[in-house]
Amino acid sequence: MSSKRKRILILGAGFGGLTAANLLRKNLPSSSEPVEHQITITDRKDYFMMGLVNLWILNGTRTLDDSKIALNRLENKGIRFLNGEVTAIDAVSKTVTIRGSSTLRLEYDYLVIALGSEFALEQVKGFLENGGFNLYDAEQVPKLREKILSLKRGRIAVCITSIPYKCPPAPYEASLLINDILVKNGTRDSIDIDIYTPTPIALPVAGAKVSQDVINLLNDSHINFHPLHKIKTVSNVKELEFENGKRVNHDLLIGIPPHKVPEVIRNSGLIKQGQNWINVDKFSLKTEYENVFAIGDVTEIKVNENTAIPKAGVFAEAQAKVVSQQIVDDIENDRGKRSSPRFDGKGFCFMEVGNKKAGYVAADFYNEQGPATLLEPPSEESYKKKIDFERSKLDEWLFL
């Protein structure tokens, strides 16, 4: 075991960061042993909430306030939590600057970057000024729900503004849940639901078959699907204009925002010209800098010319497992028990369809014959597994 105390710094306390922090704490010597390695995690937010909870706030099974879990619970586990904004990363001098109640310049021996993605709705002309809702901003979802409930007739437009965006099935899940809300509210017959996407099929990352399965689910609920519709502008008379020249009216606009890499990453030198996300080794998640790893939504891992690993929590989590094991192995290298963990490109998700049912999507992106995906038909069992998924992760990361 290394006799020198190591400092491991994790940026971002989301899916990837929380997994890494917990595994490192579990697998590195604890305070009862002679050397306690320091594990620090930082986030601008002081709470964690899973993205999928946005959909439960939308359909009224959750409230925003009940869903936020304080990140300072990590301290009970021997993980140092710093609440603040990461303002600079210098991978050459191995320092990170964090602005919180005071400004700290931290040195690290190992750095795990798990800062996710940021939204860029300002890129869609007129969206913010003309009352569009961002489905991915949890703070906006309670108001969005009220709007849906108060709408008596008209058109709801769900608009995927660009790709990549996180959790590719989420806009379709949201549309199916909105269908459910309207049916229960007695307004479905007088309200249309339309989904617009710039892509030619519903889920390019999942391929043609799964995309068709999704469209069949939408058809069953009379939700209109419009491929090859990239939004250009939102006007102040509730008109959407698309790049293909079409114009349509709407009464309520729900957007899946453009995603971009966090500003601090753009300024850190971790992104080369022509790249939009951090490039890492597809198996080890190493960046080109010594002892610097990047995981989750902040990365782009291409599996072929057209497909990259989707931005989803399960992949961030799987990558965090691989990275934390490498760090543990490196620190304990004189025990000679390196396990050479590799990210295997496998993941899954539960696609909620309303009426307390969910489909199950399984994916293998490193499959030798090309990415393989499958959608199992919706069932109550998969819905229950989705609920358990959130509970078990929260327990693992913040409670037990």
Ligand X SMILES: Cc1cc2nc3c(=O)[nH]c(=O)nc-3n(C[C@H](O)[C@H](O)[C@H](O)COP(=O)(O)OP(=O)(O)OC[C@H]3O[C@@H](n4cnc5c(N)ncnc54)[C@H](O)[C@@H]3O)c2cc1C
Q: Which is nearer to ligand X, 33 or 395 (CB)?
A: 395
**Nearest 5°: phi and psi at 154?**
125, -150
From the CB of 287, what's the least distance to ligand X, in Å? 15
Q: Which is nearer to ligand X, 116 or 378 (CB)?
A: 116
From the CB of 129, what's the least distance to ligand X, in Å? 23
Q: Which is nearer to ligand X, 172 or 289 (CB)?
A: 172
Contact string 331-360 vs ligand X (x = CB under 6 A): ------------------xx----------
Q: Is residue 258 a contact point for ligand X (CB under 6 A)?
A: no
**Nearest 5°: phi and psi at 69?**
-110, 125
Q: Quote the CA–CA distance of 214 and 364 in Å, as a whole number.
A: 19
Q: What SS3 string covers the chain? A: CCCCCCEEEEECCCHHHHHHHHHHHHHCCCCCCCCCCEEEEEECCCEECCCCHHHHHHCCCCCHHHHCEEHHHHHHHCCEEEECEEEEEECCCCEEEEECCCEEEEECCEEEECCCCEECHHHCECCCCCCCEECCCHHHHHHHHHHHHHCCCEEEEEEECCCCCCCCCHHHHHHHHHHHHHHHHCCHHHEEEEEECCCCCCCHHHHHHHHHHHHHHHHHCCCEEECCCCEEEECCCCEEEECCCCEEECCEEEEECCEECCHHHHCCCCCCCCCCCEECCCCCCECCCCCEEECHHHEECECCCCCECCCCHHHHHHHHHHHHHHHHHHHCHHHCCCCCCCCCCEEEEEEEEECCEEEEEEEECCCCCCCEEEEEEEEHHHHHHHHHHHHHHHHHHHHC
Out of 167, 210, 254, 331, name the contact with ligand X by CB under 6 A: 167
Query: Measured in whole angstroms, how far is the alpha carbon of residue 367 from the centre of its chain?
Result: 23
Q: Which is nearer to ligand X, 33 or 66 (CB)?
A: 66
Q: Which is nearer to ligand X, 198 or 262 (CB)?
A: 262
From the CB of 72, what's the least distance to ligand X, in Å? 14
Q: Is residue 168 a contact point for ligand X (CB under 6 A)?
A: no
Minimal CB distance to ligand X: which residue?
Answer: 14
Q: Which is nearer to ligand X, 39 or 312 (CB)?
A: 312
From the CB of 203, what's the least distance to ligand X, in Å? 13
CB atoms within 10 A of CB 72: 11
Q: Which is nearer to ligand X, 17 or 354 (CB)?
A: 17
Number of residues that bind ligand X (CB under 6 A): 35
Q: Which residues inside 265-324 make contact with ligand X, applying CB under 6 A?
A: 296-298, 311-314, 316
Q: Which is nearer to ligand X, 35 or 308 (CB)?
A: 308
From the CB of 345, what's the least distance to ligand X, in Å? 14
Q: Which residues inside 169-208 make contact with ligand X, applying CB under 6 A?
A: 170
Out of 110, 127, 136, 289, name the contact with ligand X by CB under 6 A: 136
Query: Measured in whole angstroms, how far is the alpha carbon of residue 98 from the centre of its chain?
Result: 23
Q: Which is nearer to ligand X, 86 or 252 (CB)?
A: 86
From the CB of 131, what's the least distance to ligand X, in Å? 20
Sheet containing strand 95-99, strands side by side = 85-90, 95-99, 103-107
From the CB of 310, what's the least distance to ligand X, in Å? 8
From the CB of 346, what's the least distance to ligand X, in Å? 12
Q: Which is nearer to ligand X, 68 or 232 (CB)?
A: 68
Q: Is residue 110 a contact point for ligand X (CB under 6 A)?
A: no
Q: Which residues inside 29-88 make contact with ligand X, applying CB under 6 A?
A: 42-45, 51-52, 54-55, 85-86
From the CB of 373, what's the least distance to ligand X, in Å? 14
Q: Given the rule CB under 6 A, which residues bind ligand X?
A: 12-17, 42-45, 51-52, 54-55, 85-86, 114-116, 136, 166-167, 170, 262, 264, 296-298, 311-314, 316, 349-350
